[in-house]
Amino acid sequence: MLKAILGEQLGKPTKTIAGWLVSLFFKTRNVVLEENAVRLCNIQPDDTVLEVGFGPGVGLSEAAKYLTGPKGKLYGIDYSEYMYKMASRNLHSLLEAGRLCLFHGSVERIPLSDSTVDKVYHCNCYYFWPDLRTGSREIHRVMKPGAVMVSTLYLESIMSCASKGILNSKKWEPEPYMAALRDTGFIDVRMETRQHKGKEFQAIFATAIK
């Protein structure tokens, strides 16, 4: 019962005590993943950047530091209304300054035009998508040719969650996600293990071709 609640809240936090606790966990434990997803994207000052599944907004606030050019644009999309509202509060100054645009919606329907995004990143997210190929195809649609996507995760923690029944589908496994990326038009798909601030994490890289 508790495991099922935790699994549901990790995938789509709601405005409940469990959802609030999960959001605190994102803000502390996942900072290294968010910072590194942003860093590994190699964001340039005038890029257009998208985060999928932004949670409380830690990664968006990091990405904004790199987008210092007059053409720089930052977008985020998240499925959870609670996370959308929490990130909107946490990032109100970026929103008010017109430096950020947030969408409440699913990766399967991103309200951006074709071939407009230079960099995409997401952390701990693909395992909750309804369908890996549909999500990958939709991200690919909005990316420019040659644009790069980085996904970060703690593989060991994810495996542990899966073995405890907190994640109950097989969608957390990196291989099906990487296969979905290749099937939907990404090249140079690879997973690397990296270290930062004494923590080991995995980064999955992919480049869009048209």
* Nearest-10 Cα torsion for 21, 27, 31, 33: 50
Our finding on whether 77 is near ligand SAM (CB under 6 A) is: yes
Pick between residue 49 and residue 77 the one whose CB is nearest to ligand SAM: 77
- Of residues 50 and 148, the one with the C-beta less far from ligand SAM: 50
For the bound state, the minimum distance from the C-beta of residue 70 to ligand SAM, rounded and expressed in Å, comes to 28
Question: 164 or 210, CB closer to ligand SAM?
Answer: 164
184 near ligand SAM (CB under 6 A) = no
Which positions from 24 to 43 touch ligand SAM by CB under 6 A, shown as an x/- string? Answer: --x---x--xx---------
Cβ-based neighbour number of residue 210 at 10 Å: 12
Q: Where are the alpha helices (DSSP H) in the chain?
A: 2-11, 17-29, 31-41, 58-66, 81-90, 92-96, 132-142, 155-163, 174-183
Q: Where are the alpha helices (DSSP H) in 67-173?
A: 81-90, 92-96, 132-142, 155-163
Q: Which pair of tokens denotes residue 133?
A: 């190929």
Q: Which of 6, 74, 83, 180 binds ligand SAM (CB under 6 A)?
A: 83
Number of residues that bind ligand SAM (CB under 6 A): 24
What minimum distance in Å lies between the beta carbon of 107 and ligand SAM? 4
Residue nearest to ligand SAM (CB): 53
Q: Return the ∠ at Cα 38 (arms to 10 and 18), rounded to 5°.
A: 15
